[in-house]
């Protein structure tokens, strides 16, 4: 199947020949894009946004403190810090710095990137800190003392691996990590869960659960809520199906008997289930509550907390001490309710103080002690406002972000395109009134996979780099995402993936029909799974676009399962080793859809050498093939940054400046003319960055 691929050598991530090829392509891109007269000034303005000291420092409550991780010009790698609510209310909060990642990186000679910490409940005195080398998914783990603000000598410590770890008690953790042959799944994630006691070798830790090698991963978790202490283990069968077990004190297990595609977790006396398929007479996308003990005894009588309709889907939910905050989306517009458990029923009412026509998200709650909540309120042209409130007592504005770009004359509209099969596909348009200006440069963004929803947000980088220059930005809510719940996602699974491509093309056609743009002024961008979408536009609908940018893209659909974490995505796309799936995978594979006799719009491919999720070989091989066929391609590969493409704000600003400069050069009338004059006939272009792709999630309640 792959014997005829002449570019397999580019899959050798750190091979001498491959890196020499990367260096040549990077130099071409630096000359063509970073050499643009306006590149330096744009990068400086974007770096200013990323480093701004008056950004909102979002926090997470852990006991008496609010924790925050912060990067700025002085701390490019960042500091982990905390404060109290009283101090946080001040315009200039007083922070206690716990860990300075820049200082640690300098002292140890490593390009450390913060990957979070798990703080031990209920004392909140120790943490398991996760650090990545230059942004990869693999991390080192070290125990940290929050009192002394130092790593614990002789504490829990693990070398680099795709580790999962969480507290059981003061001297014990559940851990899954790379311990040699048999300890990882085919996807490269932990296959076993061990109970590791302080002061003992991790290799000798008791194994309490094992997944199959063909599963995605295994996990273990202890709920330390007083009065509801329980332990759970489980396995991800694939990206969307899992099994969860109650681990009894004697070591035996009892399965939580819900559909394997449902999301399930315990909270105090409740078992909460989110349905991905119909069950117990309830439709896909419903949210159900059961009494935990009653459920384990065989009672299957649910309290229905949410039922979807064709326009409304569940967006999320968060617990406070006595309530459940429910977030729903109606045509991608957020609504929030408060549900209160009561004997025999749950009451519901709107959350007080939420402004209408805004994008609203729950930032944090305190499920252990209080009914407080933090809400972020924003919009495409509305900078974030952080509100703090207590259910039943109203809310207050804690922080307000300033405007980062000039939005004068800009509007926001929602339209619906009709896809090939008649499905109405929503999309947002942010930009000037094109009825007055005529068609103009337009950037269409999409993702379309893994049930990821694209909701309104204030994009300061896009505002400065694109909207201020007169461009229009468009967000397409295509199938494969979660904007209308699980059914919207499942409509584009496996062999049905072309529906996502058709939806995106329909939005492009609608933009042109409305006079917002023209094909030569319409660009498209996407990353990771969205990079696959960009590849599909390049090979299936090249006539619709004047330029395309694909970041950390997935492009070779016949080999993705053999590269890094690719095996974990078989449930999304199909299995190339299955003869039943291979035909549709080859058909949607952009790498195999290229041809010399069909025009392609100019394309910029961006990736990272340190991306250990989506292999950089996807972008490398695609660029090489495009060059071979005489198409216009630029390629940029950042040496660090992992799947995010950037390990600090300097890299992030550089990558964003590359993207927007490249697109403006080719889509604006003045930029296109200048580029045409600068590029000799037949010049082959070549570049790589990153946006997040899905990773297998741990069950609710395991994060810190």
Q: Which residues are catalytic?
A: 528, 643
User: How wide is the angle at C-alpha 187 spanned by C-alphas 185 and 193, nearest 5°?
Assistant: 35
Q: Report the distance separating Cα 670 and Cα 581, nearest Å.
A: 46
Measure Cα distances from 270 to 241, 289, 374 in Å: 22, 6, 24
The phi and psi torsions of 558 (rounded to 5 degrees) equal: -100, -10
Other beta carbons within 10 angstroms of residue 66's beta carbon come to 22
**Long-range contact pairs involving 5-12 (C-beta distance under 8 Å, separation at least 24):** 5/621, 7/620, 7/621, 7/624, 7/625, 8/621, 10/617, 10/620, 10/621, 10/624, 11/563, 11/615, 11/617, 11/620, 11/621
SS3 60: strand
The gap from C-alpha 624 to its chain's centroid, in whole angstroms, comes to 28
Rounded to whole angstroms, the Cα distance separating 154 from 157 reads: 8
| Angle, alpha carbons 12-16-21 (nearest 5°) | 85
What does the buried/exposed string (b/e) look like for 513-548 if buried means 16 or more CB atoms within 10 Å of the residue's CB? eeebbbbbbbbbbbbbbbbbbbbbbbbbbbebbbbb
Please enumerate in sequence order all residues whose Cβ is within 8 A of that of 153, keeping only pairs 6 or more positions apart, or say none: none
Give residue 480's region: left, alpha or beta (phi > 0; psi -120 to 50): left
CA atoms of 477 and 481, how far apart (whole Å): 7
Q: What long-range pairs does 276-283 form, CB within 8 A, spacing at least 24?
A: 276/240, 276/486, 276/490, 277/486, 282/307, 283/307, 283/308
Q: Which residue has the tokens 């820049």?
A: 102
If we measure between CA atoms, which residue out of 580, 574, 391 comes closest to residue 492? 574
Strand duo 287-291 + 270-274: pairing: antiparallel
Distance from C-alpha of 557 to C-alpha of 459, rounded to nearest angstrom: 31
Q: What would the two tokens of residue 32 be? A: 């063509």
DSSP β-ladder status, 547-551 and 522-527: parallel
- 316 strand-pairing partners: 327
Q: Which residues sit opposite 348 in a β-bridge? A: 339
Q: What 8-state DSSP symbol labels residue 218?
A: E
Which helix (H) or strand (E) segment is 18 a member of?
A: helix 16-29
Token code pair at residue 29: 């891109």
Between CA 365 and CA 362 the distance in angstroms is: 8
β pairing state of 172-176 and 164-169: antiparallel
What SS3 string covers 537-567? Answer: HHHHCHHHCCEEEEECCCCCCCCHHHCHHHH
Cis peptide upstream of residue 536 (ω within 30 degrees of 0): no
CA atoms of 191 and 113, how far apart (whole Å):
25
578 secondary structure, DSSP code = S
């Amino acid at each position: 199947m792959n014997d005829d691929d002449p570019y397999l050598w580019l899959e050798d991530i750190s091979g001498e020949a491959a890196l020499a090829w990367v260096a040549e392509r990077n130099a071409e891109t630096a000359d063509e894009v970073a050499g643009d007269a306006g590149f330096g000034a744009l990068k400086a303005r974007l770096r200013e946004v990323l480093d701004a000291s008056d950004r909102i420092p979002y926090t997470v409550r852990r006991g008496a403190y609010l924790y925050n991780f912060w990067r700025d010009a002085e701390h490019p790698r960042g500091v982990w810090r905390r404060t109290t609510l009283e101090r946080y209310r001040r315009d200039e909060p007083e922070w206690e710095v716990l860990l300075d990642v820049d200082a640690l990186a300098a002292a140890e000679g490593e390009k450390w990137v913060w990957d979070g910490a798990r703080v031990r409940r209920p004392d909140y005195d120790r943490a398991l800190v996760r650090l990545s080398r230059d942004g990869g998914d693999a991390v080192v783990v070290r125990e940290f003392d929050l009192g002394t603000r130092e790593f614990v000598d002789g504490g829990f410590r693990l070398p680099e691996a795709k580790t999962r770890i969480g507290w059981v008690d003061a001297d014990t953790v559940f851990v899954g990590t790379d311990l040699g042959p048999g300890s990882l799944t085919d996807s490269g994630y932990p296959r076993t869960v061990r109970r590791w006691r302080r002061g003992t070798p991790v290799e000798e830790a008791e194994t309490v659960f094992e997944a199959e090698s063909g599963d995605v991963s295994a996990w273990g978790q202890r709920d330390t809520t007083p009065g509801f202490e329980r332990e759970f283990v489980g396995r991800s069968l694939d990206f969307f199906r899992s099994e969860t077990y109650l681990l009894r004190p004697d070591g035996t297990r009892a399965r939580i008997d819900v559909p394997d595609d449902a999301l399930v977790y315990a909270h105090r006396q409740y078992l909460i289930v989110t349905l991905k398929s119909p069950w117990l007479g309830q439709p896909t996308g419903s949210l159900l509550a059961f009494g935990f003990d009653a459920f384990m005894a065989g009672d299957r009588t649910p309290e229905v907390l949410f039922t979807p309709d064709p326009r409304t889907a569940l967006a999320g939910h968060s617990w406070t001490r006595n309530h459940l905050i429910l977030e729903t989306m109606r045509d991608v517009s957020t609504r929030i309710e408060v549900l209160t458990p009561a004997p025999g029923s749950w009451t519901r009412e709107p959350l007080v103080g939420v402004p209408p026509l805004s994008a609203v998200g729950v930032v944090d709650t305190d499920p252990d002690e209080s009914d407080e909540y933090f809400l972020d309120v924003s919009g495409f042209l509305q900078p974030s406002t952080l509100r703090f409130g207590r259910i039943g007592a109203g809310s207050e504005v804690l922080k307000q972000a300033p405007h980062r770009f000039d939005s004068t004359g800009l509007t926001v509209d929602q339209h619906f395109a009709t896809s090939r099969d008649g499905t109405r596909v929503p999309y947002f348009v942010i930009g000037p009134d094109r009825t007055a200006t005529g068609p103009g440069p337009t950037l269409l963004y999409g993702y379309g996979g893994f049930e990821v929803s694209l909701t309104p947000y204030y994009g300061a980088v896009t505002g400065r780099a694109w909207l201020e220059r007169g461009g229009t930005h468009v967000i397409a809510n295509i199938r494969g995402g979660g904007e209308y719940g699980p059914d919207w996602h499942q409509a584009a699974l496996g062999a049905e993936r072309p529906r996502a491509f058709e939806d995106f093309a329909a939005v492009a056609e609608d933009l042109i029909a409305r006079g917002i743009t023209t094909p030569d002024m319409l660009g498209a961008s996407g990353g990771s799974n969205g990079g696959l979408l960009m590849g599909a536009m390049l090979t299936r609908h090249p006539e619709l676009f004047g330029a395309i940018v694909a970041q950390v893209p997935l492009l070779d659909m016949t080999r993705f399962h053999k590269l890094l974490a690719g095996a974990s995505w078989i449930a999304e796309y199909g299995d190339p080793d299955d003869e039943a799936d291979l035909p549709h995978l080859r058909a949607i594979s952009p790498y195999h859809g290229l041809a010399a006799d069909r025009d392609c719009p100019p394309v910029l491919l961006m990736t990272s050498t340190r991306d250990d999720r989506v292999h950089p070989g996807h972008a490398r091989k695609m660029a090489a093939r495009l060059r071979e066929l005489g198409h216009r391609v630029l390629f940029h590969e950042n040496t660090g940054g992992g799947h995010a493409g950037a390990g600090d704000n300097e890299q992030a600003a550089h990558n964003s400046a590359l993207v927007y400069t490249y697109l403006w050069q080719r889509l604006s009338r003045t930029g296109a003319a200048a580029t045409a004059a600068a590029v000799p006939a037949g010049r082959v272009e070549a570049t790589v960055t990153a946006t997040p792709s899905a990773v297998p999630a741990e069950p609710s309640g395991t994060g810190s």
